[in-house]
Amino acid sequence: MKARRTKAPPAALAKDAAIHEAIAHAILEGRLKAGSRLPEHRLAELFGVSRERIRKILHRLAAERRLELVPNRGVRVPSPSLDDIHRVYEAHRVLEAGVLSQLVNTVDDALLAKLDAHLAAERDAAERNDRAESVRLSGAFHVHLVDALGNPELSRFLRELLSRSSVMVSVYEPASQSICAVDEHGAIVEALRAHDPARAISLSHHHFHHVEQRLRLEPQSDDRTVDLDAVFAASAPVKSGRSRKASA
């Protein structure tokens, strides 16, 4: 007879979700640089949980392509090469060209209103210098476009690309470039509003090219040591249990 698995209590699930969010947020804000190592034992001590729980959270982030598992070295923030970046942004350009060629003929006032509201939120985040929110909203703009087609396969493919390109932007793009991305998104919306497919596709192509060109690769490092206490200083509520013995 199989032993029944004990379901984690809601409080433990909530804390694991908060730790996941804290690490993801640190990546999006650029506080964890390319190649930064995330040792299980240090994170377990920092957040006051067991190494097993931290391991599961890190593996989830790796499955989301936010982190990478390195054999015999543990987990670190990805350090994509120029070729990696080019391939991802080439895929973005090709996918969105197809999306816009279909979307421009069916765009309606409801979608345009949604995009206008989204642009306002993007600009607000950029003006507040909210790095993590700017990166998230920048990706969500393209999600709005593909989701409007109602094709779950295309939507899934885009989300997989964004899981990689969002990390690239977070660790390699200067934070001051956020406003540029908002302006480029706005130009694409105006082309859709004018039902001009050629212009929309051209603007999208140049937008992804500009993002790729704005990325500033740092010297590659197999393992970058990082002050995790400083990185997660803003995550005090999550770290409240660190003084207690880590729970399983």
Domain limits, the chain:
10-79+220-241, 82-214
Query: For the packed helices 82-103 and 131-147, what is the interaxial angle rounded to 10 degrees?
Result: 40
**Rounded distance, CA 122 to CA 70, Å?**
34
**Rounded distance, CA 132 to CA 224, Å?**
21
CATH of 82-214, one of 1.10.8.50, 3.30.420.10, 3.40.50.300, 1.20.120.530: 1.20.120.530
For 39, 95, 96, 238, the CA distances from 74, given in Å and listed in that order, are 7, 33, 35, 23
**Structure tokens of 212?**
């790729």
The sign of the dihedral angle between the CA atoms of 159, 162, 164, 167 is negative
pLDDT of residue 235: 66
Q: Residue written as tokens 């140049």?
A: 206
Residue 37 pairs in a beta bridge with 76
Instruction: Tell me whether residue 226 is exposed, middle or buried, using C-beta atoms within 10 angstroms of its C-beta: 0 to 12, 13 to 18, 19 or more.
Output: buried
pLDDT of residue 147: 97
**Rounded distance, CA 178 to CA 125, Å?**
9
Residue 182 pairs in a beta bridge with none
**Structure tokens of 227?**
């002050």
**Structure tokens of 56?**
């599961």
Residue type, 246: A
pLDDT of residue 222: 55
Q: What is the CATH number of domain 10-79+220-241?
A: 1.10.10.10
In the chain (248 residues long), the average pLDDT of successive 10-residue segments reads 62 90 86 88 93 95 90 87 93 97 92 97 92 89 96 94 87 68 94 96 96 76 74 68 44
